[in-house]
Structure formats: C-alpha cells, structure tokens
A and B are shown apart, each in its own frame.
Chain A
Amino acid sequence: AQSVAQPEDQVNVAEGNPLTVKCTYSVSGNPYLFWYVQYPNRGLQFLLKYITGDNLVKGSYGFEAEFNKSQTSFHLKKPSALVSDSALYFCAVRDEGGGADGLTFGKGTHLIIQP
C-alpha cells in the first residue's frame, strides 16, 4: 500500500519570506511524486512532479520541490512567498509499478501568506 503524510494542517508565512510545505511518503517501489494546488472553489491544478533524475524539481509559479529518498520526503519550497500563493496544497504519490488507478493524495496543507 502507498500513503502520503502532510504533517501540517496549516502553514503561515510572511510575504517575501521563504516557504516550505512538508510531505513524506511510503511506497513499496520507486515513487512518482506530485504537488497540486487548489484555490477556493476550484479544482486542483498540477504544480510539479518528480519521476526520475535531479532531486530538485522546478515547477509552476516559482515553486520547487526536493526529493529526498533516504528521508522519503518531497517538500515543496519557494524562495519568496506571495500573498497570491495562499491556497490548499496537496502532495500525491504513485508507485512506479502501479497501474492507472489514480494517485494517492495527502490530506492537504493550507498555506497562508500574510501581507
């Protein structure tokens, strides 16, 4: 079985400061890892993914994520937060050998950027 943990329900950051949203995962094989963002009353939007290669993955809107195999983590980061980054962020995982039956999502982390 695969699973994702997002240990923080909410993260508060001042505008202009760096932000980190944490994610840890568990899969039996090699992981495919994803971050999605959800704005109020909208569907989820794809931000970035790690499949293979460099551990630091760059995505949309200046976000990046670092894959750490030894710590089974895939934390989302941004060097300088914007108020418009405030949203609900989901980490998701899929085992490399898995089928087409979707992704396993974490519970989500509310990111609040304070002006």
Chain B
Amino acid sequence: NAGVTQTPKFRILKIGQSMTLQCTQDMNHNYMYWYRQDPGMGLKLIYYSVGAGITDKGEVPNGYNVSRSTTEDFPLRLELAAPSQTSVYFCASSSRGTPYEQYFGPGTRLTVT
C-alpha cells in the first residue's frame, strides 16, 4: 500500500515552460487536493476534487489546471510557468467518511527561473 505518490520529486523550469505534476493514490479515496507550501506561509489550497470528473478551485488556482479522469489520479498542470510558482507542491487525499483526515504525498519541489 503506497498511499499517495507524487512525481517528480524535484524540477527546474524556465519561465514560460509548462509541466504536469503527477499524483496517484491507492486508497480508493474520493477526495483529492493540491496544495502549495511557501516558506512561512503554511499550505494554500490550489484545486480539489470530490470524485472522478469533478474538480473545483481552491484559494490560489490562477496559473494551474487539474483533471480527474479516474479515482486514483489527480494531475496538476502548470501552463506558462512564472517565478511566483516556485514552491513545494503537495497532493493529498481523504475518504468521504473522514474528509478532513488527509493523507499527503511526499511533495514536489519546483523552481522556476
């Protein structure tokens, strides 16, 4: 049981490039989330999903897109990367019965230069 896995672990992007951060969970959780963590700022919610085919914006969605074609996968797409998107990105999941007890992946450290 791997839990929540994220790839890649690290990535350096040039301004204007695009990339997809992958997230997969094997716990059959309905809810999935993407957060970004900036130093001294806690975690901010980017997007979330309550099930396959359903996504919604969080607190800081600008510059990102998501899709949820399966229960297991919840990729995060960055289009036209900007230095302000330099951050650590965490994917999380939770079950419908305990939606606030979230399980986090190990994170992706992204630098945009």
Contacts and interface: CB of A to CB of B under 8 A. Distances in A.
A100 B102 contact: no
A22 interface: no
B42 A90 contact: yes
A92 B33 CA distance: 15
Given A44-B104, A49-B101, A107 B58 contact: no
A90 to B, nearest CB: 7
A43 B101 CA distance: 14
A103 interface: yes
14 contacts: A4-B42, A32-B100, A41-B106, A43-B4, A43-B90, A49-B100, A90-B43, A92-B100, A100-B99, A101-B48, A105-B42, A107-B41, A107-B42, A108-B40
Given A43-B105, A108-B42, A103 B100 contact: yes
Interface string B27-68: 000010101000011110100101000001010000000000
A108 B40 CA distance: 7
Interface of A: 4, 9, 32, 34, 36, 41-46, 49, 90, 92, 94, 100-103, 105-108
Nearest to B57: A101
Contacts of A36: 104
Q: How many B residues are at the interface, by size bracket?
A: 20 to 34
A102 B33 contact: yes
Nearest to B41: A107
B86 to A, nearest CB: 17
B90 A107 contact: no
A94 B90 contact: no
Contact of B106 (A43, A103, A106, A108): A43
Given A46-B102, A100-B48, A102-B35, 6 more contacts: A41-B106, A90-B43, A100-B50, A102-B33, A103-B102, A105-B43
Instruction: Give the interface centre of B4, B101, B105 by most chain A CB atoms within 10 Å.
Output: B101
A4 to B, nearest CB: 8
Contact of A45 (B41, B99, B104, B107): B104
